[in-house]
Structure 1
């Protein structure tokens, strides 16, 4: 009997996607159809996955693709501008480099890797938490290419050793939930403040109120009708319409064109970054920052996979994001992009994964569309002006990233055992930063000092305290070296 059961399960898992696919009319609801699509997919790692053979395109794929494109323009512009300011580079340089970065991401990595070669790897996006540190990196004698290569090297080492998966397994639901609540709340408050600041700056404070109020009503209605996957395009469109109708000034300034494609231009002594190629001392200067950047990946990647776990059916485990594969792709993308001349710092692409998971869509189809949209935006130019306009930008980040983060964190902390760990990680993150909060709370939680005591007692010594303690010591030492601990001057 057991043998027959095993053979049946084996046969079911080896059936092709096309042979199991059924038309939409065979299901009672759209949700049932989408969940069936997720459960029958079986992506091949590091082998060719083809559209219509291994996956299909659906209307819902347009939403994460659009959200990802908006997020890409916004986040890469923020990173490149953070480098450009201390280096005295112009806003025209920033726009040119962002367009170049979008072509690199779309043509070399988004479509090729996440769309075709490994649909279990999330798209390689932008590392937002590193933006405040960029002036410190430049002030310490850092070089954008040296930083990118070091981040790629450390990230690849973490991926090869399966360190990302190990750290994710050692982080309890309480710690994950608290981290998501903190990131969601802080991001939400900052975006509302930024939008109101923009409105006050143009002497039209009422526009900020009108946009936020309409966003609250829209999001509540979409949640009521279980259509939150529409929140980014609908919310951004409503924000755009309200701001224009109320008289907010806007004009297109980015014209169509193709950016410089030669690394020699970008790393010339008098062109591009105007810094030349990096030397040994540049790599030494950026090493602590690169370690910290890669350390931030684990909680970031965990948060994105959580959305799949919360929104996908149980049978869809084969399409879940592979943390180590995503780290590998992000590392290679970081290294190649930096050598070619880009200024982006890479992480898991949250503005893609979060809406894709909510829309119950797998990675590859939306990835292909994201790549196409990024190429169009980079060459056409005008969409970039819309994406970075304050009403569109702030609302897209609020409803597409920070509100879902907040909701997911609250879902994960419903068990009383998880509330204590969640509270500690929020407290510690507010005290220093999320990396400090995550590493400290993971150590305390695994030791059984907080949270679920039985979970800590069931772990072997390596998982209970050795790995968490080493992680905490390395990260705190790195933060102390570069002056990130409150009240303690930089040791280096």
Structure 2
């Protein structure tokens, strides 16, 4: 039987109109009424009607599904690891011991749980969770050596983030980034991330004189991922890979033991910002804010390409007519900036960004943000209070395979998907080239400028842009980012222009 395309279009339009007039509760159907699990999950995405700055309640506005536990688990693992890395990077130069790192990670897990529930789970259901700004980790020793104060750094990031969110600058920059530029950025991040995790796993295995364990774990993970892809169960990749990686390593003789006992961190902000307690730095001075100013600008400028990559991954994974439940870049910036401001005031070590280890698995599982956000908050509280899950999450066989299959391989797939059609390969190649030269923020800003000018990529797209979109905004962004990088010494072969960073 032939189907008229016009009839299909009219049917879709009727469904859209129906969705606008009926509530989620009325439109919801049990999964038994659908031919497959995928159809049910896609229908859930299409009928949701998230409300900004108004309560979004479970079962009235969304439901919990088994698939929500996967991104929540991946997010919790990622949070423990990333905050631990930031706290450890600060601890070394400041002379702080392991107990500081452990207690601050626990503190951050409780802080983030509150903001996840408030924003992503309740009043801003299209704001991705406020995670950790991983690309800043290599810069932290420079900040500490220059006399930077973590509270001053965090407060400036929060302030600049709020400005960008309220001015809707994030969504503007995202709209000026072509598919080729974004796809290349995803390819670069996915490739670099995968390579780094493989190297870390082999370094761990060599340190215990069992290099063969890393090879066996990675090979088994590749086979498992291929099988899950074949049976269209890729959303199970994170928990099964963690189970596989940890189980294989333990059976092959890798040492592991639980060390972190249950407990609570010190919840008094004055303890963390005391002269002789917590950070042992006291409160910041005006000079502290001046020192970290260039890094704060750079941190917020790097949000746009990071957020854009996460949003694009949702667009690729979600079905049609789901725009209203996709991640809103400006709301995510508002959530991250607010969480950053209060987290720094309270004494946490986290520097916020869009939570990649949550949104990527959630997109694969075809789940909206709110339900998984609430589960993530619960998992973070359990991990922080119980303690023992923290040991398991940071064990290298578990950690590395979780990040590879849950974040970096999907980023590679999304990047290749975005560069399949049109004149996108030129822009993608230049992004990878420029990012390798300096970093992803430099690669993104430079390639966006060249692409919008029409020197590479789709010439027709460039011709349809206004002067403001074609070169003024991209040039200003590239100039600001490059100038800040030059000031603090991030341009290879060029000494820092500011004496205090030399």
8 Å contact kept, 2:427–2:451? yes
User: Is 1:85–2:92 an aligned residue pair?
Assistant: yes
Partner of 2:7: none
User: Is 1:136–2:142 an aligned residue pair?
Assistant: yes
Match of 2:157, SS state, is helix
Matching of residues 12-161 of structure 1 within 5 Å: 12-107=19-114, 109-161=115-167
| Deviation per residue, 1:166-188 (Å, 9 max, x gap) | 00000000000000000000110
Partner of 1:378: 384
Aligned-residue CA RMSD (Å)? 1.1
TM-superposed CA distance for 1:11, in Å, is: 5.1
Task: Name which of 456, 461, 464 aligns with 1:458.
Answer: 464
| Deviation per residue, 1:426-473 (Å, 9 max, x gap) | 000001111100000000000000000110010000000000000000
8 Å contact kept, 2:126–2:326? yes
Task: Name which of 294, 308, 311 aligns with 1:305.
Answer: 311
| Deviation per residue, 1:124-178 (Å, 9 max, x gap) | 0000000000000111110000000000000110111100000000000000000
Give the 4+ runs in structure 1 shifted more than 2 A: 5-12
TM-superposed CA distance for 1:65, in Å, is: 0.5
Partner of 2:348: 342
Match of 2:313, SS state, is helix
Partner of 2:396: 390
Match of 1:251, SS state, is coil
User: Is 1:263–2:249 an aligned residue pair?
Assistant: no
How far, CA to CA, are the matches of 2:218 and 2:203 in structure 1?
A: 13
Partner of 1:166: 172
TM-superposed CA distance for 1:486, in Å, is: 0.6
Match of 2:423, SS state, is helix
Partner of 1:244: 250
State the aligned residue count. 487
Match of 1:347, SS state, is coil
Partner of 1:179: 185
Structure 1 gap ranges (5+): none
Partner of 2:477: 471
Task: Name which of 225, 239, 244 aligns with 1:233.
Answer: 239
How far, CA to CA, are the matches of 1:8 and 1:442 in structure 2?
A: 37
Task: Name which of 180, 194, 215 aligns with 2:221.
Answer: 215
TM-score normalised by the chain length of structure 2 = 0.96
TM-superposed CA distance for 1:111, in Å, is: 1.1
TM-superposed CA distance for 1:14, in Å, is: 2.7
Match of 2:322, SS state, is helix
8 Å contact kept, 2:158–2:338? yes
8 Å contact kept, 2:422–2:458? no
How far, CA to CA, are the matches of 1:484 and 1:468 in structure 2?
A: 20
How far, CA to CA, are the matches of 1:412 and 1:254 in structure 2?
A: 43
How far, CA to CA, are the matches of 2:13 and 2:339 in structure 1?
A: 40
How far, CA to CA, are the matches of 1:231 and 1:405 in structure 2?
A: 14
Partner of 1:445: 451
How far, CA to CA, are the matches of 2:422 and 2:378 in structure 1?
A: 45
User: Is 1:295–2:288 an aligned residue pair?
Assistant: no
TM-superposed CA distance for 1:323, in Å, is: 0.2
Task: Name which of 358, 365, 374 aligns with 2:364.
Answer: 358
TM-superposed CA distance for 1:12, in Å, is: 3.5
How far, CA to CA, are the matches of 1:33 and 1:116 in structure 2?
A: 23
TM-score normalised by the chain length of structure 1 = 0.98
Structure 2 gap ranges (5+): 1-11
How far, CA to CA, are the matches of 1:413 and 1:316 in structure 2?
A: 22
How far, CA to CA, are the matches of 1:314 and 1:147 in structure 2?
A: 41
Partner of 1:400: 406
Match of 1:182, SS state, is helix
How far, CA to CA, are the matches of 2:340 and 2:88 in structure 1?
A: 18
Match of 2:263, SS state, is coil
How far, CA to CA, are the matches of 1:322 and 1:441 in structure 2?
A: 23
TM-superposed CA distance for 1:425, in Å, is: 0.5
Match of 1:269, SS state, is coil
